[in-house]
Amino acid sequence: MDRDQPDDDTMKAAIALACRAPSVHNTQPWRWLLGDRTVHLYADVDRHVPATDPTGTDLLLGCGAALHHLRIALAALGWAAIVHRLPDPARPDHLAAVEFVRREPTASDVALAAAIPRRRTDRRRYSSWTVPPAVLAQLGDRAADEGAIAHAVVEPEERFELAAALGFAAALQDADPAYRWEVRTWSGRHADLDGVPAANAPVGVPVHGDLRLREFPGGELRDVPAGDWEEDGASLLVLGTSSTDALSTLRAGEAMSAVLLEATAAGLATCPLSQALEVDETRDRVRRRVLHDTLCPQIVVRVGWPAFNADPLPPTPRRPPSEVTGGLEPA
């Protein structure tokens, strides 16, 4: 690349951090193509999990998160990203073209980039300490910066409806043989480059108070012991947009990444929850009874303080950048 563009080592470092983004079942459904002055993000449709994600929403959310991770990584390395989203109507899998301009990193850029390798999807019980409203508002601001609204589920009626939607969606999916096969295929991997390894998946069905989380068969992660008096104090945020078109969903993925990294930088534990939004009936229930028909729900984020005696989680595997990166073909 030219001297007024990021060099190869900078791009490799940025893409390596971008590939730490969360994705459904850790499928990592993205590809990067490098040009002389641009980097292009494509959806890897071969990694779509249709029984889990029939509409492709989870795939786009994961790619949006990777795009935001790339932006943050570049910013910390001294480059502002100029993003052209969905640049080619003839190629719906071409999600973004990114150009670069030099810019001095800010302390926030560096802190968020440092949060990328520390972030984990933590499906365990959280501390009984609640997340202060000011911190939830700050997370909401980060989502708004990316074009989404973060609705904090604080009313008991809304909490009941969201928990019920999560439980009902799990029951419907568990009754589907194609879903059971799919989630088992991506579960319990120990030495591969993708999927949810046993060390990061709880034993059995994770249930925390009123919340039932997705089960990954073969899990070996033991939950943190708790006394009878200590309840899980996690808060729930529903990220919503005004539409469910591809652009809105891609931006929601960027907003999810912004919330997760801001929370990680603040010392919070996080876990994206997509299950209630993968089933038509429960997604509609969340839209009507939690968001009151004001937004289209895209993803739920569980956030809270980690339990005091919780051991650090190992990083989940990622495909090497060389496997997901290529060069643009000559025009």
Average pLDDT over residues 29-54: 96
Q: Is the residue at 315 inside a domain?
A: no
CATH number for the domain including 191? Answer: 3.40.109.10
Same domain, 173 and 282: yes
> In Å, how far from its chain's centre is CA 173?
20
Q: Reply yes or no on whether the pLDDT at 64 is more than 80.
A: yes
pLDDT in tens, 1-10: 456 889 999 9
Q: Whole-angstrom Cα distance, residue 232 to residue 226?
A: 9
Q: Where does the pLDDT of residue 260 fall: very low under 50, low under 70, confident under 90, or very high at 90 and above?
A: very high
pLDDT in tens, 88-112: 999 999 999 999 999 999 999 999 9
Same domain, 219 and 267: yes
Q: Reply yes or no on whether the pLDDT at 192 is more than 90.
A: no
pLDDT score at 294: 97
Q: Is the residue at 91 inside a domain?
A: yes
Q: Is the residue at 3 inside a domain?
A: no
Name the pTM for this structure: 0.96
Same domain, 178 and 216: yes
Rg of the chain (C-alpha set): 19
> In Å, how far from its chain's centre is CA 20?
10
pLDDT score at 224: 79
Q: Where does the pLDDT of residue 329 fall: very low under 50, low under 70, confident under 90, or very high at 90 and above?
A: low
Same domain, 201 and 173: yes
pLDDT in tens, 112-143: 999 999 999 999 999 999 999 999 999 999 99
Q: Are 54 and 278 in contact (CB under 8 A)?
A: yes
Count of Cβ atoms closer than 10 Å to residue 187 Cβ: 20
Same domain, 192 and 283: yes
pLDDT score at 51: 98
Write down the mean pLDDT value for the chain: 94
Q: Are 142 and 258 in contact (CB under 8 A)?
A: yes
Q: Is the residue at 312 inside a domain?
A: no
pLDDT score at 226: 66
Same domain, 46 and 89: yes
pLDDT in tens, 143-153: 999 999 999 99
Q: Is the residue at 42 inside a domain?
A: yes
Q: Could you give the C-alpha distances from 315 to 144, 163, 191, 229, in angstroms and in order?
A: 28, 28, 12, 31
Same domain, 109 and 172: no
Same domain, 74 and 197: no
CB-based contacts of 318, cutoff 8 Å, min separation 6: 19, 20, 28, 193, 194
pLDDT score at 69: 98
- For tokens 């800010």, the residue is 106
Q: Where does the pLDDT of residue 231 fall: very low under 50, low under 70, confident under 90, or very high at 90 and above?
A: confident
Same domain, 107 and 138: no
Which three-class secondary structure state does DSSP give residue 304?
strand
- For tokens 């030099």, the residue is 102
How many folded domains does the chain comprise?
2
pLDDT score at 214: 97
Q: Where does the pLDDT of residue 34 fall: very low under 50, low under 70, confident under 90, or very high at 90 and above?
A: very high
Task: Name the residue range of residue 167's domain.
Answer: 133-304
Q: Are 75 and 110 in contact (CB under 8 A)?
A: no
Same domain, 212 and 291: yes
Same domain, 42 and 163: no
Q: Is the residue at 223 inside a domain?
A: yes
Q: Is the residue at 313 inside a domain?
A: no
Q: Reply yes or no on whether the pLDDT at 330 is more than 60.
A: no
Q: Is the residue at 147 inside a domain?
A: yes
Same domain, 75 and 165: no
pLDDT in tens, 169-183: 999 999 999 999 999
pLDDT in tens, 283-304: 999 999 999 999 999 999 999 9
